[in-house]
Amino acid sequence: MKQSQLSYFIRRQSPKDEEAANAQILIRAGFVDKVMAGVYSYLPLGLRVLKKIEAIVRARMNELGAQEVLLPALTPKEGWEKTDRWATFDALFKVISRDKREYALGATHEEVVVPLAQKSIASYKDLPFGLYQIQTKFRDEPRAKSGLLRGREFLMKDLYSFHANEADLDRYYENAIKAYALIFQDLGLDAHLTEASGGTFSKLSHEFQVFHESGEDHIAYCEECGFSQNSEISDLTEKSKCPSCGKSGIRMKQGIEVGNIFRLYTKYSDPFSLSYKDSEGNDTPVLMGCYGIGISRLMGALAEVFHDEKGLLWPSNVAPFRVHLLALTGSEDKTAILKQAERAYEKLREQGVEVLFDDRTDVSAGEKFVEADLVGIPLRVVVSEKTGNLFGLKLRTDEKERLVDFSEITKYCGDIR
């Protein structure tokens, strides 16, 4: 994409009405716009990142054999009454229509997916299966000060799985853990599988925690063996022996919860009488699991983890573009430089490389460099009077640029693609 054709939302200054580092830098770099507390617009660069995160998650859900659906945001009151959450779920946004029907804005979708699942379940032969959704959800958060980490409106992937027995639920749960580990690996994030409360059930749930000072959660983590437990269920301190390896490796960490998985058993099956006929024809309750990943929260977590004082440093899998091509046209041979850059742009695009081409002629070299660092595309390629027939190549993480010929750029693109 040519930068001259991209609307200019880069602000370069931190917004004054934003406390969270992730939102501050994403607004400065023109990825999101704050509409109000906990509610953001995703601008062209930001939406590209969001869609890449979405695609990574979707691919792993499909590998797991789950099927994608799209559920409504307007969900009927009746379902929430069945599960007793209409009155007790404080963060539900409620809506009344002109004809006096009451809805909740989907904060989570058990109340919709359970009656839906029943329509495809008759006997044990129809189990197991998984339905997932990637869509906007809503929560009336009392404080929404963490930018994209805790929004009133946010993009979420939720997977719901349905099983005939506990062994099958456990098997699926383990597979979901593996899929999640691959997702965070794809995203370039170091996420720790962490024991957390199972709610009213005996078994634990699990969270995936990215350790970072911006995280709201407190985690007891063993540096010796990797054991990790949310402090909400842990009385471990840095003086404790690790309950897993027995060594003195416990450190207290702050964590951003980027995923959570629960065995729901029959918590939602019971109120909706979700059941199947077993091989002897008896009606038996379906067991369920649920598996969430915050897509927009992940974008916030990536911005928290991958930035420096100059700007963002996107991992290549989620970067809005792979290459930021800068034509520095300050000199007199503007036409020759633009021509050489244009040729490189076309050649890279032919090879399927996503390039943002800064073809603007009314912006100084200094400004282009500053903005390229702010936007944080992994590979910067410069064409200028000084580069001659070569190109100035610099990874966002490098200190210095070096001169290379075109073949070396494509080699780099291969590596980071």
* Chain positions contacting a copy of itself, by CB under 8 A: 5-9, 11, 33, 35-36, 39-44, 47, 50, 65, 67-76, 90, 93-95, 97-99, 101, 105, 112, 116-117, 119-120, 125-126, 129, 131, 135-136, 138, 140, 142, 152-153, 362
315 prior amide bond cis, ω within 30: no
Beta carbon nearer to a copy of itself, 61 or 220: 61
Beta carbon nearer to a copy of itself, 157 or 206: 157
- Whole-number minimum distance, CB 97 to a copy of itself, in Å? 5
Beta carbon nearer to a copy of itself, 76 or 243: 76
Distance CA 21, CA 218 (A): 19
Rg (CA), the chain: 25
Beta carbon nearer to a copy of itself, 142 or 281: 142
Beta carbon nearer to a copy of itself, 68 or 354: 68
- Whole-number minimum distance, CB 216 to a copy of itself, in Å? 19
| Sign of the CA dihedral running 324, 300, 30, 354 | positive
Beta carbon nearer to a copy of itself, 115 or 285: 115
- Whole-number minimum distance, CB 180 to a copy of itself, in Å? 21
- Return the SS3 of 339: helix
- Whole-number minimum distance, CB 35 to a copy of itself, in Å? 5
Q: Return phi, psi of residue 111, to 5°.
A: -65, -20
CB 82 within 8 A of CB 96: no
Distance CA 115, CA 127 (A): 15
Close Cβ partners of 25 (under 8 Å, ≥ 6 residues apart)? 14, 303, 307, 311, 312
- Whole-number minimum distance, CB 142 to a copy of itself, in Å? 6
Q: Give, rounded to a whole angstrom, the gap between the first and last alpha carbons of the chain.
A: 17
- Whole-number minimum distance, CB 160 to a copy of itself, in Å? 11
Beta carbon nearer to a copy of itself, 43 or 250: 43
Dihedral-angle region of residue 23 (phi above 0 means left; psi in -120 to 50 means alpha; beta otherwise): alpha
Q: Which of 149, 143, 35, 141 is nearest to 92 (CA)?
A: 141
- Whole-number minimum distance, CB 405 to a copy of itself, in Å? 32
Distance CA 225, CA 221 (A): 9
